Amino acid sequence: MNKYHFWPEETVKKDGFIVIACTIENIDQTRKKLWYKLPEQYHDRITSSCDPFIVALIFKLMTEPAKLVVHGQVSPSLLKNITEYQAIWQCWRLDYYHSVEINAEIEAEISVDNRPNNPISAFSGGVDSCFTLWQHKKGLCGRWQRNITTGLMIHGFDIPLSQTEVFASAFEKSKRMLSSPDTECIPLSTNIRQFKHQWLDTFASAVISCLMLFQKSYQVGLIPSSEAYRK
Protein backbone atom coordinates (compact mmCIF):
# COMPACT_ATOMS: atom_id res chain seq x y z
CA MET A 1 0.00 0.00 0.00
CA ASN A 2 1.08 3.60 -0.62
CA LYS A 3 2.66 5.37 2.34
CA TYR A 4 3.05 8.89 3.66
CA HIS A 5 5.82 9.68 6.14
CA PHE A 6 6.01 12.48 8.73
CA TRP A 7 9.40 13.49 10.19
CA PRO A 8 9.24 16.11 12.97
CA GLU A 9 12.14 18.56 12.88
CA GLU A 10 14.08 20.32 15.60
CA THR A 11 12.51 23.61 16.68
CA VAL A 12 14.41 26.53 15.16
CA LYS A 13 14.90 29.85 16.96
CA LYS A 14 15.65 32.96 14.89
CA ASP A 15 15.11 36.71 15.22
CA GLY A 16 12.85 36.37 18.25
CA PHE A 17 10.65 33.66 16.72
CA ILE A 18 10.47 29.89 16.84
CA VAL A 19 9.52 27.60 13.94
CA ILE A 20 7.96 24.20 14.64
CA ALA A 21 8.03 22.04 11.52
CA CYS A 22 7.52 18.59 10.08
CA THR A 23 8.74 17.19 6.77
CA ILE A 24 5.99 15.43 4.84
CA GLU A 25 6.90 12.72 2.35
CA ASN A 26 4.06 12.11 -0.09
CA ILE A 27 3.25 8.76 -1.67
CA ASP A 28 5.21 9.83 -4.78
CA GLN A 29 8.21 10.49 -2.47
CA THR A 30 8.14 14.26 -3.01
CA ARG A 31 8.66 16.24 0.18
CA LYS A 32 7.25 19.44 1.62
CA LYS A 33 7.54 21.12 5.00
CA LEU A 34 4.58 22.03 7.20
CA TRP A 35 5.49 24.76 9.67
CA TYR A 36 4.15 27.01 12.42
CA LYS A 37 5.89 30.22 13.46
CA LEU A 38 5.29 32.25 16.62
CA PRO A 39 7.17 34.53 19.06
CA GLU A 40 9.96 32.83 20.99
CA GLN A 41 8.45 33.76 24.36
CA TYR A 42 5.80 31.04 23.90
CA HIS A 43 8.29 28.23 23.37
CA ASP A 44 7.59 26.58 26.72
CA ARG A 45 3.88 26.26 25.92
CA ILE A 46 4.40 24.24 22.73
CA THR A 47 3.93 20.47 22.59
CA SER A 48 6.58 18.09 21.29
CA SER A 49 3.88 15.73 20.00
CA CYS A 50 3.15 15.24 16.29
CA ASP A 51 -0.60 15.46 16.97
CA PRO A 52 -1.01 18.92 15.39
CA PHE A 53 0.62 17.84 12.11
CA ILE A 54 -1.73 14.87 11.70
CA VAL A 55 -4.83 16.97 12.38
CA ALA A 56 -3.63 19.71 10.02
CA LEU A 57 -3.27 17.38 7.04
CA ILE A 58 -5.82 14.64 7.69
CA PHE A 59 -7.98 15.74 4.75
CA LYS A 60 -5.01 15.75 2.38
CA LEU A 61 -4.09 12.25 3.57
CA MET A 62 -7.63 10.96 3.07
CA THR A 63 -7.63 11.81 -0.64
CA GLU A 64 -5.55 8.66 -1.31
CA PRO A 65 -5.90 5.07 -0.03
CA ALA A 66 -2.65 4.95 1.94
CA LYS A 67 -0.93 4.49 5.28
CA LEU A 68 0.81 7.15 7.36
CA VAL A 69 4.01 6.45 9.29
CA VAL A 70 4.83 9.10 11.89
CA HIS A 71 8.48 9.10 12.97
CA GLY A 72 7.74 10.72 16.32
CA GLN A 73 5.25 10.81 19.20
CA VAL A 74 1.47 10.68 18.76
CA SER A 75 -1.27 10.48 21.41
CA PRO A 76 -3.18 7.16 21.48
CA SER A 77 -6.36 9.13 22.20
CA LEU A 78 -5.88 11.09 18.97
CA LEU A 79 -5.32 7.90 16.97
CA LYS A 80 -8.57 6.47 18.36
CA ASN A 81 -10.65 9.60 17.79
CA ILE A 82 -9.29 10.38 14.33
CA THR A 83 -10.28 6.89 13.18
CA GLU A 84 -13.90 7.73 14.00
CA TYR A 85 -13.50 11.20 12.47
CA GLN A 86 -12.38 9.67 9.19
CA ALA A 87 -15.31 7.25 9.22
CA ILE A 88 -17.73 10.17 9.56
CA TRP A 89 -16.23 12.02 6.61
CA GLN A 90 -16.23 8.87 4.51
CA CYS A 91 -19.99 8.63 5.08
CA TRP A 92 -20.41 12.24 4.00
CA ARG A 93 -17.99 12.12 1.05
CA LEU A 94 -17.64 8.47 0.08
CA ASP A 95 -16.76 9.50 -3.46
CA TYR A 96 -13.73 11.51 -2.33
CA TYR A 97 -12.25 10.44 1.02
CA HIS A 98 -10.54 7.19 2.05
CA SER A 99 -9.59 5.83 5.47
CA VAL A 100 -5.90 6.23 6.35
CA GLU A 101 -4.18 3.86 8.77
CA ILE A 102 -1.86 5.83 11.07
CA ASN A 103 1.12 4.28 12.86
CA ALA A 104 3.57 6.12 15.08
CA GLU A 105 7.01 5.17 16.35
CA ILE A 106 5.99 6.40 19.81
CA GLU A 107 2.44 6.29 21.18
CA ALA A 108 2.20 8.34 24.38
CA GLU A 109 -0.21 10.85 25.82
CA ILE A 110 0.84 14.40 26.60
CA SER A 111 1.62 15.00 30.27
CA VAL A 112 -1.22 17.12 31.69
CA ASP A 113 -0.34 17.28 35.37
CA ASN A 114 0.54 20.98 35.45
CA ARG A 115 -1.89 22.38 32.89
CA PRO A 116 -4.19 25.17 34.10
CA ASN A 117 -7.92 24.79 33.46
CA ASN A 118 -8.09 27.96 31.36
CA PRO A 119 -8.85 27.58 27.64
CA ILE A 120 -7.26 29.07 24.57
CA SER A 121 -9.58 30.27 21.83
CA ALA A 122 -9.01 30.97 18.15
CA PHE A 123 -9.51 34.70 17.59
CA SER A 124 -9.79 36.53 14.27
CA GLY A 125 -11.12 39.87 15.48
CA GLY A 126 -14.39 39.20 13.64
CA VAL A 127 -17.96 38.98 14.90
CA ASP A 128 -17.88 35.26 15.75
CA SER A 129 -14.70 35.34 17.81
CA CYS A 130 -15.70 38.57 19.60
CA PHE A 131 -19.12 37.10 20.45
CA THR A 132 -17.55 33.90 21.80
CA LEU A 133 -15.20 35.89 24.04
CA TRP A 134 -17.98 38.20 25.24
CA GLN A 135 -20.37 35.31 25.92
CA HIS A 136 -17.86 33.47 28.08
CA LYS A 137 -16.59 36.57 29.89
CA LYS A 138 -20.17 37.60 30.73
CA GLY A 139 -21.07 34.17 32.08
CA LEU A 140 -23.77 33.47 29.48
CA CYS A 141 -22.72 29.92 28.57
CA GLY A 142 -24.21 27.97 31.44
CA ARG A 143 -22.36 24.71 32.03
CA TRP A 144 -20.15 25.42 29.03
CA GLN A 145 -18.70 28.48 30.77
CA ARG A 146 -14.94 28.84 30.34
CA ASN A 147 -12.57 31.53 31.58
CA ILE A 148 -10.81 32.35 28.31
CA THR A 149 -7.33 33.69 29.04
CA THR A 150 -5.72 33.53 25.59
CA GLY A 151 -6.70 34.29 22.01
CA LEU A 152 -4.76 32.77 19.12
CA MET A 153 -4.72 34.78 15.87
CA ILE A 154 -3.62 32.78 12.83
CA HIS A 155 -1.83 34.22 9.81
CA GLY A 156 -2.11 32.19 6.63
CA PHE A 157 -5.83 31.39 6.63
CA ASP A 158 -8.10 34.37 5.82
CA ILE A 159 -5.08 36.65 5.46
CA PRO A 160 -2.47 35.17 3.05
CA LEU A 161 1.11 34.79 4.30
CA SER A 162 2.26 37.31 1.69
CA GLN A 163 0.20 40.07 3.37
CA THR A 164 2.42 40.62 6.38
CA GLU A 165 1.46 44.28 6.92
CA VAL A 166 -2.26 43.49 6.72
CA PHE A 167 -1.91 40.79 9.35
CA ALA A 168 0.26 43.00 11.59
CA SER A 169 -2.41 45.70 11.53
CA ALA A 170 -5.23 43.22 12.19
CA PHE A 171 -3.26 41.65 15.04
CA GLU A 172 -2.73 45.00 16.78
CA LYS A 173 -6.49 45.65 16.62
CA SER A 174 -7.23 42.21 18.06
CA LYS A 175 -4.64 42.71 20.75
CA ARG A 176 -6.33 45.95 21.82
CA MET A 177 -9.76 44.30 21.85
CA LEU A 178 -8.54 41.41 23.99
CA SER A 179 -6.68 43.66 26.43
CA SER A 180 -9.95 45.05 27.79
CA PRO A 181 -11.19 41.68 29.16
CA ASP A 182 -7.61 40.95 30.32
CA THR A 183 -6.91 38.30 27.68
CA GLU A 184 -3.57 37.88 25.93
CA CYS A 185 -3.30 37.57 22.16
CA ILE A 186 -0.76 35.28 20.48
CA PRO A 187 0.14 35.63 16.78
CA LEU A 188 0.87 32.45 14.84
CA SER A 189 1.76 31.93 11.18
CA THR A 190 1.46 28.66 9.27
CA ASN A 191 1.57 27.33 5.71
CA ILE A 192 -1.21 24.75 6.21
CA ARG A 193 -3.35 26.31 3.50
CA GLN A 194 -0.59 25.86 0.91
CA PHE A 195 -1.14 22.09 0.97
CA LYS A 196 -3.59 20.59 -1.51
CA HIS A 197 -6.94 19.90 0.15
CA GLN A 198 -10.58 21.00 0.13
CA TRP A 199 -10.33 24.13 2.29
CA LEU A 200 -14.03 24.30 3.17
CA ASP A 201 -13.79 20.75 4.54
CA THR A 202 -10.47 21.15 6.30
CA PHE A 203 -10.74 24.67 7.76
CA ALA A 204 -11.93 23.55 11.21
CA SER A 205 -9.25 20.87 11.53
CA ALA A 206 -6.63 23.43 10.47
CA VAL A 207 -7.72 25.73 13.30
CA ILE A 208 -7.73 22.79 15.72
CA SER A 209 -4.18 21.85 14.71
CA CYS A 210 -2.98 25.34 15.62
CA LEU A 211 -4.74 25.17 18.99
CA MET A 212 -3.27 21.70 19.58
CA LEU A 213 0.22 23.13 19.43
CA PHE A 214 -0.61 24.45 22.90
CA GLN A 215 -2.06 21.22 24.32
CA LYS A 216 0.89 21.04 26.70
CA SER A 217 -0.34 24.24 28.37
CA TYR A 218 -4.13 24.35 27.95
CA GLN A 219 -6.80 21.75 28.64
CA VAL A 220 -9.40 23.27 26.32
CA GLY A 221 -9.32 24.85 22.88
CA LEU A 222 -12.31 26.80 21.53
CA ILE A 223 -13.37 27.48 17.95
CA PRO A 224 -15.79 30.43 17.65
CA SER A 225 -19.06 29.66 15.88
CA SER A 226 -19.11 30.06 12.11
CA GLU A 227 -22.00 27.81 10.99
CA ALA A 228 -25.53 27.86 12.38
CA TYR A 229 -27.20 24.64 13.55
CA ARG A 230 -30.17 25.63 11.41
CA LYS A 231 -29.82 26.77 7.79
On whether both 83 and 156 belong to a single domain, the answer is no
Domain count, the chain: 2
| 172/185 Cα distance (integer angstroms) | 9
The more confidently predicted of residues 10 and 117 is: 10
- The answer for residues whose C-beta is within 8 angstroms of residue 197's C-beta and 6 or more apart is 57, 59, 60, 63
On whether both 182 and 207 belong to a single domain, the answer is yes
Closest CA to 36 of 52, 46, 21: 21
**In the chain, what's the furthest Cα-to-Cα distance?**
54
- Reported as a single tens digit per residue, the pLDDT across 15-26 is 999 999 999 999
Burial 65-98 (b: 16+ CB within 10 A, else e): ebebebebbbbeebbeebeeebeebeeeeeeebe
Confidence of residue 39 (pLDDT cuts 50, 70, 90): very high
On whether both 24 and 79 belong to a single domain, the answer is yes
Structural domain contains residue 112: no
Structural domain contains residue 227: no
- Reported as a single tens digit per residue, the pLDDT across 103-137 is 999 999 987 666 667 889 999 999 999 999 988 88
On whether both 11 and 53 belong to a single domain, the answer is yes
| 10/91 Cα distance (integer angstroms) | 38
On whether both 91 and 147 belong to a single domain, the answer is no
Confidence of residue 73 (pLDDT cuts 50, 70, 90): very high
Structural domain contains residue 230: no
Query: Is 229 a residue whose pLDDT tops 70?
Result: no
Range of the domain at 163: 120-222
CA angle, residues 83, 211, 79, in degrees to nearest 5: 20
On whether both 167 and 100 belong to a single domain, the answer is no
pTM of the model: 0.93
Q: Are 188 and 210 in contact (CB under 8 A)?
A: yes
On whether both 79 and 129 belong to a single domain, the answer is no
| 80/9 Cα distance (integer angstroms) | 25
